[in-house]
Amino acid sequence: MTTKRVAVVTGGNKGIGFAIVRALCKQFDGDVYLTARDAGRGQNAVKELEGEGLKPKFHLLDYTDRKSVDTLKEYLVQNYGGIDVFVHNAAIAFKVQDPTPFAKQATMSIATNYTCTVELGNAILPAMKANGRISIVASQGGTMSLSKCSSEVQAFFKSPDITEEQMSKKLQEFVKAAQDGSHQKEGFSNSAYGMSKLGVIVYTRLLAKAAAKLDRANVLVNCCCPGYVSTDMSSYKGTLTPDQGAITPTMLAMIPPSDSAPNGEFLYQKKILKWC
């Protein structure tokens, strides 16, 4: 087992994830793993960064597959004794003009962006080392969706006492309502992506609370909005470059061991957004 520190980035083969890997290779004192669900694309991304003089490593990861998650976790525990930095960037988003029925968009967005993120976070957390950092890429689409929900639904998501079980049940209520077209009548927003990212923002607070109960010190969990970045997800209409979008998630990954904040927060442009 090596004594090196280790950082991992999900969805690292392109866009913001690729830029985060690049930034960590320059700033992080240890091994940086670029992960992707497609081995060929992931290895090609590694070669591209090697061409820049950087030295990322590659590991296959499909974060929607629990077996794949467990395989990565076991590898990191066996070879590094755990995880120092984990950046979860991977997600899906339907284009504005996508003809996919909203019911299916809601089902897939909640399952992939929220449920699989929860399962990933819960699986990874026990493997975090002391002073570990978890940085999750969320979106202001989540807080925008919250503002478009009914006052009752807003109060639910803003509650400091909300549990993971309650939130998961509420988001499944959104999916069910979307399937019969009553989601707005039931007080939810009309954005499948936004509702899924709202779930991620709230889950970040819950994961931070769980981290505080670990038998190791100062594991911090935060999420952020990278901004409107020019990637395939935004159809390259964003105003920021991927490297600019990587700034805040990388900052959260690099919070010094001597610091105990921010924790459980949602940030944009390196500043905490008070959304509840």
For 146-173, how does the pLDDT look when each residue is reduced to its tens digit (9 = 90+)? 999 999 999 999 999 999 999 999 999 9
Residue type at 132 in one-letter notation: G
Question: What is the CB neighbour count within 10 angstroms for residue 269?
Answer: 14
Residue 234's pLDDT is what?
A: 75
The catalytic position among 33, 63, 114, 193 is: 193
Is residue 179, in this structure, part of any structural domain at all? Answer: no
CA dist 231 and 250 (Å) reads 18
Residue 49's pLDDT is what?
A: 98
Residue 268's pLDDT is what?
A: 97
Domain range enclosing 256: 6-95+113-140+196-272
Counted domains in the chain: 1
Is residue 185, in this structure, part of any structural domain at all? Answer: no
Q: Tell me the CA distances in angstroms from 18 to 9, 215, 237, one per residue in order.
A: 8, 32, 18
Token pair in block for residue 154: 């807003």
Is residue 207, in this structure, part of any structural domain at all? Answer: yes
Is residue 27, in this structure, part of any structural domain at all? Answer: yes
- Pairing between strand 31-36 and 6-9? parallel
The stretches in the chain having pLDDT less than 50 are none
CA dist 163 and 86 (Å) reads 23
Could you tell me the CATH number of the domain that includes residue 242?
3.40.50.720
Is residue 163, in this structure, part of any structural domain at all? Answer: no
Residue 5's pLDDT is what?
A: 98
Token pair in block for residue 194: 């936004």
Is residue 132, in this structure, part of any structural domain at all? Answer: yes
Beta strands in the chain (DSSP E): 6-9, 31-36, 57-60, 83-88, 128-137, 220-225, 266-268, 271-272
Q: Report which of 68, 73, 81, 70 is spatially closest to residue 8, judged by C-alpha positions.
A: 73
228 noted as active-site residue: no
Residue 228's pLDDT is what?
A: 86
Residue 118's pLDDT is what?
A: 98
Residue 231's pLDDT is what?
A: 84
